[in-house]
Amino acid sequence: MIYTVTLNPSIDYVMAVPDYISGATNRAQTTNAYPGGKGINVSRILEANHINNQAWGFLGGYTGAFIATTLQHLAIKTDFTPIQGTTRINVKLKSRQETEINALGPQITDAEWQTFKQQFSQLQPADTVVFSGSLPSTLPHDAYQQLIQLVVSKQANFIIDTTGDDLKQALALHPLLVKPNRDEVQALFELTDISLNSLKIAGQRLIAGGAQQAIISLGGDGALLFANNHVYFAEPIAGDLQNSVGAGDSMIGGFLAQWTIEEDPVTAFKLGVASATATAFSEDIATQKKIRSVLDHVHITEIG
Ligand SMILES: Nc1ncnc2c1ncn2[C@@H]1O[C@H](COP(=O)(O)OP(=O)(O)OP(=O)(O)O)[C@@H](O)[C@H]1O
Ligand SMILES: O=P(O)(O)OC[C@@]1(O)O[C@H](CO)[C@@H](O)[C@@H]1O
C-alpha cells in the first residue's frame, strides 16, 4: 500500500487576475478552490493512474471539511487525523506571473501529533510512504525525522520531497526517491553555478548520500534522473503552461505509479515527466487522459 503524508494540507484558492496591479483593488476574472498540499497532489496523480493509495495528515475546521468532501468525490482514500485547528488556505495568483502566498498552517496539539504517529504502527515492509510539504510551525522541528524512523523500523520504503536538513538527514536512510528542484539542490549543496555539469555532480551526491534514485526537476527546462549509476535527461516538452502548482508533486506521483507496476527507474521517470508536464498544461492536477496524451512526447536520453 502507498500512503501519502501531508502534514500541512491547504485549500488552494486560485485567482486569475490577468492585469493584476500591486497596491490597487483588483477584480478576479475567475476563482477556483482545490484540495491542496503536496502529498494530496501525489495521491491525486496516483489515483489518476489507478494506483491504490491512502492520504494521511491533519485536517480541521470548515476548510478541512471541504478538502475531505472533495477528495471523497475524487475517490481518493483518506485517513486524516482530525484537529481542533483550521486547515490553511493558500492563495495562488495567476497573472503575467504566478504568485503564491502559502499560509503558516494551524496549531497541532501534542495529543493530535501522538494520535497521528500511531497510524505508522500498521505499516508493512511492502508499503511506501511519501512525505512532502511544509510542517505546521507547532510540530516538532524533527517531525519528519521521527516519522521516517517509524517507517524504517517497519522496513517500509519512503520518498521524501523536502529541503535543507530534513532532506540531508533522510538521505542516509535510503529513500526510494528524492526530487529537489534546481533551486533546492543549489541551496542544499551551496552550488555557485547551476550548469549541467554542476547539477550532475549534485545529483551524484544525492545518490552517494544514500538515495536509491534522485530526480532534479528543472521546471520548463526538463528534468534529470540519477539511477542505475547513470544520468538521464528528459527534454522539456513545449506546450501551453496553465499552472505550475503541483507539477513537482505530479512528477513524484507518476514515478511512483509506474514503479509500483515495474521497478524500472527510467520507465517510472517517463510517467513522472508525463504527469508533471500534464499538470503544468492543466488548470488543476492532471487527469489520466491528459497524462496519456503527453506520454508519447516524453524523450529521455542517457547523458552520463
Ligand atoms: N513550463 C513548463 N513546461 C513544461 N513542463 C514543465 C513546466 N513546468 C514544469 N514542468 C514539468 O514539471 C516538472 C516539475 O516542475 P518543477 O521543476 O517546477 O517542480 P517543483 O519546483 O517541485 O514544482 P512545484 O513545487 O510547483 O510543484 C518539470 O521537471 C517538468 O517536467
Ligand atoms: O507550503 P508547502 O507545504 O511547502 O506547499 C504547499 C503547496 O504550495 O504545495 C502544493 C504544490 O506543490 C500546493 O498544493 C500547496 O498549496
Write the burial class of residue 207 (CB in 10 Å: 0-12 exposed, 13-18 middle, 19+ buried).
middle
Residue owning the nearest CA to atom 1 of ligand 2: 134
Predicted local confidence at residue 208, as pLDDT: 97
Q: Which of 221, 249, 284, 296 is catalytic?
A: 249
110 is catalytic: no
Instruction: State the Cα–Cα distance between residues 183 and 70, nearest whole angstrom.
Output: 32
Instruction: State the Cα–Cα distance between residues 172 and 160, nearest whole angstrom.
Output: 12
Predicted local confidence at residue 244, as pLDDT: 85
Q: Which domain covers residue 31, as residue numbers?
A: 2-302
CA 218 / ligand 1 centre spacing (Å): 6
pLDDT, one tens digit for every residue, the chain (304 residues): 999 999 999 999 999 999 999 999 999 999 999 999 999 999 999 999 999 999 999 999 999 999 999 999 999 999 999 999 999 999 999 999 999 999 999 999 999 999 999 999 999 999 999 999 999 989 999 999 999 999 999 999 999 998 888 999 999 999 999 999 999 999 999 999 999 999 999 999 999 999 999 999 999 999 999 999 999 999 999 999 998 899 999 999 999 999 999 999 999 999 999 999 999 999 999 999 999 999 999 999 999 8
Reported pTM: 0.97
Cell 475524487, located at residue: 74
For the CA of 34, the closest atom of ligand 2 is: 14
Counted domains in the chain:
1
Residues having CB closer than 6 A to ligand 2 are 8, 10, 12, 36-38, 41, 90, 100, 102, 133-134, 245-246, 248-249
Residues having CB closer than 6 A to ligand 1 are 181, 217-220, 222-223, 236-237, 241, 244-249, 251, 273, 276-277, 280
Predicted local confidence at residue 81, as pLDDT: 98
Instruction: State the Cα–Cα distance between residues 84 and 59, nearest whole angstrom.
Output: 9
CA 220 / ligand 1 centre spacing (Å): 6
The CATH number of the domain holding residue 249 is: 3.40.1190.20
CA 45 / ligand 2 centre spacing (Å): 15
CA 5 / ligand 1 centre spacing (Å): 21
For the CA of 234, the closest atom of ligand 1 is: 31
